[in-house]
Structure 1
Amino acid sequence: MLDLILSNQAARMATLFGIFVIVAGVAMIVIGVVNRRSQVRAGLQQIANSNAVMVEESATSLRQRENQNAWARLADMIERTGLDLTDTKNERLRDRLIAAGYTHPAAPRIFTLARLGVMIMMPLYFVVLMFAYSEETPSFLTLYLGCSLMGVLGLYLPNLFIQAKADRRKEEIVNGFPDCLDLMLVCVEAGLGIEAAMDRVGREMVKSHPLVSQLLSIAVLRLRAGATREEAFRRLADMARVDEIRSFTTLLIQSDKLGTSMSSTLRVYANEMREKRRMRAEEKAHRLPVLISIPLVVCMLPTMIGVLMLPASIRVVRDIFPLMNR
């Protein structure tokens, strides 16, 4: 058989072709098995990563909850000693804290405790710095004025921090809400109900706009827990503390009561929100020349005046002043 294959050209070619087919078939089988294993491994890795992200997010939320509970327990311990941490304008303070994103029931008492702590620690820090880095013993007037200034700063700095955080939160919600409306409009026009659309949009916008996603997810959870649409939407507006979302929830409540189409309502309001976002962008663009003129006048105008007036000043000193002395 071997002699026939070696002596016959056709038999030799057929044998080589058969060997090639066998090797190619084995190679394709091995490649297919390796690809299937790699696909399975990639799928398992993706599932593991998603589970790790979920565990990390849940751990983060649990850690934040534990920290809030720890602060609440500390506030309770201090109140049991006889110090009342209730603010005289507790409702107004709670509204400001909710606008900044602090929705814990003990948030006003924790804020009052933090403000007292800052107001006490800043004067003590000033006194320590004065005695540690001053070569001479500071006078009583210096310590009194410095401690008074630090105490006033410690009293108002937490308020400024809360106001700045509320402004940043409002800006993030306002910037992300038009995209949320567009995506919700697509979901409603595709056949989803308003609850399913809010749930879908809340899950899709976790990474891009987390604050809007959190508000929508909480509203969906309230609806699933048995709350009416009016109650859930009003609670959504109270949590957001943003005029755009308040108007949106009022529009949804009216549409639900009157029985009008949700898709047309969302389309009209989405167009209005896009127009408002465009107007805000144009307003910022028109403010740029005014804002640029301030450093232009402060930095460049004195230099230009100096360059223009310097030759004349030198000429006056060289020519006019000698003539005046004669």
Structure 2
Amino acid sequence: MDVTKIASDLYASGFDWILQNPGDAFLVVLFFTVVLAVLGVAGISGNRGAVSRRLAGDTVSVGGVGEGPRLRYESRDGFWNDLVGAIEKRVPLIDEMNRSLIQRRLLQAGFAGPGVVRNYYAIRFIMTVGLPAVFLLLAPLFGISLSNQNVLLVPLALCIVGLYLPSFWLSRRIASRQRAIREGFPDALDMMVVCVEAGLGLDAAFNRVGSELVRAHPALATQFALVALELRAGKTRSDALRNLGDRVGLDDVTGFVTLLIQSDELGTSISQALSVHADEMRNKRMMRAEELAHKLPVKLTIPLIVFILPCMITVILLPGIIGIMRIILPALQGG
């Protein structure tokens, strides 16, 4: 029995089936592409909160009082990890030169865990390969001839889209998360000032503020909870605070971290330093709101000119135009 001949016959029959049933083949490829993408996103999302792995990998409530943010680490060993491992054996997914940069961006987006970088590159690879394949199977359904050279540029464009779309989505998520943390940071500082002035230490203040901000600012509460967990795990206060600045990536948080580290090293009053910094953050938030309000008239100019001004000109000039068409034009033609 010739195994090579049998394999070639099966390949040829499968290719003929694709040509005869392009619609069914497209649905099959689309189904597997969507399933792989969903599994990849679930694999990244399921690895959040890797710091709490030291607490036996179970769900942990951070904060001694009240219900704190719940951090969880889940190890996912299944079809997705097997698929990524099979792909890695044939294709070098991870760019080692940019690994630390991607890992930092994933942390800033809220994804943490040992496999998030690999899952990110796997999703990008699947989208880069899957989008052109879906188009090539979909094109015959719409009567598009693949022999045209201009049509062949579309798969190349889809490859580029699949390559850069995950990075674009990650940037948007980082910006959204940083915006939420920036808006809630002054409130967190005010609560921290109250806690420190009431007699709590800085470590206990992080615990308390993290547990109180779960509903109002969950992203910021998670970051404070991670600081509390790192301090309980034995990290120094300066290292835990620097990790907070790296995870968030905001200048406001970096300034706050620097302030606390310097106050701790120099022995100055943390309560007074936090009060001054909280006033500054509150003023900066008010200035950002005033800046957005001042930009509003300028942004409204374009829709006013494009949509409202033509309507106003039409309403004003239309009676005169009708009068000219009814009276002056017939008089000129009769003369």
Alignment match of 1:108 (pick from 110, 113, 117): 117
Match in the other structure for 1:170: 178
> In the aligned structure 1, how far is the partner of 2:272 from the partner of 2:139?
67
> In the aligned structure 2, how far is the partner of 1:212 from the partner of 1:242?
12
Taking the TM superposition and a 5 Å limit, the aligned residue runs for 1:211-222 are 211-222=219-230
- Matched residue type, 1:90: R
TM-score when normalising by structure 1:
0.73
Would the aligned equivalents of 1:87 and 1:108 in 2 still touch at CA under 8 Å?
no
Would the aligned equivalents of 2:84 and 2:122 in 1 still touch at CA under 8 Å?
yes
- Matched residue type, 1:178: P
Match in the other structure for 2:135: 126
Relative to structure 1, the CA distance from residue 187 to residue 271 in structure 2 (aligned partners, 3 Å threshold; closer, same or farther) is same
Would the aligned equivalents of 2:69 and 2:214 in 1 still touch at CA under 8 Å?
no
Structure 2 gaps of 5+ residues are: 1-58, 62-67
Superposition CA RMSD, Å? 3.0
Match in the other structure for 1:61: 72
> In the aligned structure 2, how far is the partner of 1:175 from the partner of 1:270?
13
The more displaced of 275-284 and 141-150 is 141-150
> In the aligned structure 2, how far is the partner of 1:108 from the partner of 1:288?
40
Would the aligned equivalents of 1:199 and 1:216 in 2 still touch at CA under 8 Å?
yes
Q: CA deviation at 1:135?
A: 5.0
Match in the other structure for 2:54: none
* Helix, strand or coil at the partner of 2:149: helix
> In the aligned structure 2, how far is the partner of 1:212 from the partner of 1:163?
18
Match in the other structure for 2:95: 86
Would the aligned equivalents of 2:181 and 2:219 in 1 still touch at CA under 8 Å?
yes
Q: Give the aligned length.
A: 270
- Matched residue type, 2:92: L
- Matched residue type, 1:241: G
Relative to structure 1, the CA distance from residue 58 to residue 264 in structure 2 (aligned partners, 3 Å threshold; closer, same or farther) is closer
Larger radius of gyration: 1
Alignment match of 1:187 (pick from 192, 195, 209): 195
Match in the other structure for 1:243: 251
Would the aligned equivalents of 1:188 and 1:197 in 2 still touch at CA under 8 Å?
yes
> In the aligned structure 1, how far is the partner of 2:244 from the partner of 2:108?
12
Would the aligned equivalents of 1:87 and 1:112 in 2 still touch at CA under 8 Å?
no
Identity of aligned residues (%): 39
Q: CA deviation at 1:125?
A: 2.2
Match in the other structure for 1:204: 212
Match in the other structure for 1:5: none
* Helix, strand or coil at the partner of 1:89: helix
Match in the other structure for 2:271: 263
Match in the other structure for 1:144: 152
Match in the other structure for 2:285: 277
Higher RCO by CA contacts (8 Å cutoff, separation 6 or greater)? 2
- Matched residue type, 1:204: E
* 1:181-237 C-alpha deviation (Å, 9 max, x unpaired): 111111100101001111111112122211111111111121122211111111111
> In the aligned structure 1, how far is the partner of 2:220 from the partner of 2:331?
76
More helix by share: 1
* 1:75-95 C-alpha deviation (Å, 9 max, x unpaired): 333222353432543333233
Q: CA deviation at 1:258?
A: 0.7
* 1:219-275 C-alpha deviation (Å, 9 max, x unpaired): 112112221111111111111111111110100000001111111011001101111
Match in the other structure for 1:296: 304
Would the aligned equivalents of 1:68 and 1:104 in 2 still touch at CA under 8 Å?
no
Would the aligned equivalents of 2:145 and 2:151 in 1 still touch at CA under 8 Å?
no
Q: CA deviation at 1:139?
A: 5.1
Match in the other structure for 1:48: none
> In the aligned structure 1, how far is the partner of 2:252 from the partner of 2:294?
23
Matched, 1:159 2:159: no
TM-score when normalising by structure 2:
0.71
- Matched residue type, 2:115: A
